[in-house]
A and B are shown apart, each in its own frame.
Chain A
Amino acid sequence: MNQVLVLVEQLSGQITRASTELLTMARRFGTPIAFIVGDDVSAQVSQYGAAKVFRGVAPEYDLHPVAPWVDALAALVTQLSPEAVLIASSAKGKEIAGRLAIRVGSGVITDAVDISEGFVATQSIFGGSTVVHSKVTEGIPIITLAPNALEPTASPVEPSVEDLVVSFGEITTAARVTGREQATKGGRPDLGEASIVVSGGRGTNGDFAAVEGLADALGAAVGASRAAVDAGWYPYTHQVGQTGKSVSPQLYIACGISGAIQHRAGMQTSKTIVAVNKDPDAPIFEIADFGVVGDLFAVLPQATTAINARKA
């Protein structure tokens, strides 16, 4: 039986969409074996074909980001000798993957948008201008998968869960969390995983109400250009671009964003791009499938009303 080890993440008892994508991807190559931490979400995990779920329950996972996961996955790699390890391309996922690669003597590939036979990973680089196929040449391939790489599909199996006991070293526990402030998300989807993103830039003049209104009508995440974040108008966690997040949603709506190359590098692999900007010469229009030259404070509320009317 070919086994593919998958790191499954959950957010308050719900496995993430990225995790369901990883499990679906793993089934292309064999049987997914999942590692989870925290609440027993094995019933959800088995819906996506994981024959076996290992569960980490130690308090260390909560107190020390990254390192305990590396210890646990390294133990599972030794125990199972899987064909590959798949991890979500989040900031934390990539750190875990990088350290695991050193620990188990493997190569690592990050931000794959697809994985084909022989664990050949497809990456979209340089802001989506170049597509690269690469593979791991030594050890067990460790690959992090970008969000929205594929449409997750269910394939239920009987759940089987086992607690994984790992002894953590001194170094694993040396850096510790002493406090947490949860970001207020306002019920909107996660920026990295959202299938629709509505972003605001300099043109909002700091007023994101119209952007948020359109986002909520579409069930979208809200993004922001670096200019808007630098001005203090929107939190850094929402920054889209060369620095900040790279997003690749079905639909990206850029509002009052000129579309400098640094911003485009973080969003131009979106399937459909729509732009609203007062400046007819804004570079964002060069890559927009549909552009409206106009005032976002007029165009966005009208679009929001029209979308809500369609739903009614």
Chain B
Amino acid sequence: MKQAPDSVAQKNLKESDSTLDRASVDAVLNDLDEYAIEAALQFSEAQTSEIPNRITLLSMGPERATEAIRKGFSMGADDAIHVVDSALAGSDALATSLVLATVIADREVDFVLCGTESTDARMAVIPAMLAERLGWPQLTFAGEIEVDATARIVRIKRMTDDGVESMESPMPCVISVVEQINEPRYPSFKNIMAAKKKPVETLSLTDLGIASDQVGSAGSRTTVVDFAVLPPRAAGVKVTDDGTGGDQLVAFLAAKKLV
């Protein structure tokens, strides 16, 4: 999961290092990650096994990402791992996936659930990159998930532009979920209170054995050359339909040679 700027906020890059100006916007739990947390909760609640499931949140980000972790706790997640290190600033997707995969590879995990993308960077590559780094199968863009915990098989409906693919994979695997999969719950009062006491394990790059030049701006394999903020789009002509609105619309399109 990731803390991302509130998706209704105006986002800007900083002049100094061409990274997202996080200080100027309200940050929240990335909208799309809520669906992944909800999917994990629904899976966990449906299990009848004696051994309880544990839902661990994993986030890489600055100190204030703990706010997003609290949101995940208040939905019902059990514990969290937060990778914080000043050297991580400016990490691209390759560096980010390296850090996340290093944490995951070190633990006993049945499957990793992700949102498909963050609402700020919107690359939608991290789940596939995690699968690549971990050497695990990927089940991405899931609109439905079915877990057979006994057989250790996960089945999903993969939502593509061409339709729906039914897929299955052994565990462990990396799953990403699309927003139509569920309706994320609102935190209950009980969970909001409990969220304050849930454990967050904080890890640094040293803890993970990752050299600081492998991540951050230094370890990223892409760089921003320059950027420019465009002037906002101006409003054009607005007419009120007097019975000829449709004809006026077509006249506008014709003048623009669009019909």
Interface residues, chain A, CB within 8 Å of chain B? Answer: 11, 65-67, 70, 90-92, 94-99, 101-103, 106-111, 120, 125-126, 128-139, 171, 174-183, 190-192, 196, 218, 229, 236-237, 242-243, 246, 250-251, 260-262, 265, 268, 272-274, 276, 280, 285-295, 298-307, 310
Contacts and interface: CB of A to CB of B under 8 A. Distances in A.
B239 A292 contact: yes
A91 B250 contact: no
Residue from A229, A261, A289 with most neighbouring chain B CB atoms (10 Å): A289
Given A132-B227, A179-B165, A268-B233, A99 B129 contact: yes
Contacts of A95: 124-125, 127-128, 138, 140
A261 B8 contact: yes
Contacts of A11: 162
Given A236-B143, A272-B256, A306 B160 contact: no
A294 B242 CA distance: 8
**A-B pairs with lowest CB-CB distance, top 6:** A302-B246, A294-B241, A107-B221, A98-B125, A175-B137, A175-B169
A102 B237 contact: no
Contacts of B45: none
Interface stretch (B54-62, B92-100, B194-202): B92-100
B122 A111 contact: yes
Given A95-B140, A177-B167, A290-B236, A107 B249 contact: no
Contacts of A310: 250, 254, 259
A157 to B, nearest CB: 30
B131 A99 contact: yes
8 contacts: A65-B165, A98-B128, A129-B232, A137-B221, A272-B256, A274-B249, A292-B240, A304-B246
B139 A98 contact: no
B51 interface: no
A243 B238 contact: no
B12 A101 contact: no
